[in-house]
Structure 1
Amino acid sequence: MDDKIKLIYERMQDYLRQVEKIERLCNEDAHISLIRETYTVLKNEIKNEANFWDKVTNYEKANTFLKAFYIPAIMEGSAFGLEARVNGSKEEIQRSMFELEYKLTKYKDHKEWIEYK
């Protein structure tokens, strides 16, 4: 597989690991400030990524893999999976993480994203 696709897989793997980390922090009753801080970083990263793809003028020239799996997952994750405010409750952030994980793995299974080396 070409290097660009490998980078996309690695980026998605990083996002999914961050989601899992936040879910774990919520389940372990970590301090809310740590949960919020970690959530804010992830939220900003995904929002920035979605804004980038929204503004790319030659989106149609993106390869099929990006158009079929990655870009829709990022756009939907940004729009629907990050609804909790950055100062929201642990429960709100946890619900957002469940939704974000669903959106990020809607077009390609979680296992497929993670197992790629």
Structure 2
Amino acid sequence: MPIHKKPFLAALPPAPPPRLAADGPPPIRMAANENPLGPSPRAVAAVQAAINEIHRYPDAGGAALRYALATRNDLSPEHVMLGNGSDELIMLICHAMLSEGDEAVLAQGSFVSYARRIQT
């Protein structure tokens, strides 16, 4: 079954390919979030140190990170919450604290995702 695009999407021209340098290294593509400085030496060292464990899934609860953050900030790990950005953390807090029929106040001009109705 063919996939049909919406007309306005089908009318868009394809993205131009990246320009290549005639000689020398390829140009840095800032729109692709490439770092013109390359990876941090500390990041390279961390990857090299972890290379023998990359076949394992990390701790989904982030226990080591929670403990390190708690220790650094003089807290207990139970006071540290991790998430995939503020959107997820706010959504988790809303699911934990709000029940059907509850209302929450949010600032005008906030992110659209915060204004959507939260299904529990």
| TM-score, normalising length: structure 1 | 0.22
Higher RCO (CA < 8 A, seq sep 6+): 1
Larger helix percent: 1
Greater CA radius of gyration, 1 or 2? 2
TM-score of the superposed pair, with normalisation by structure 2:
0.22
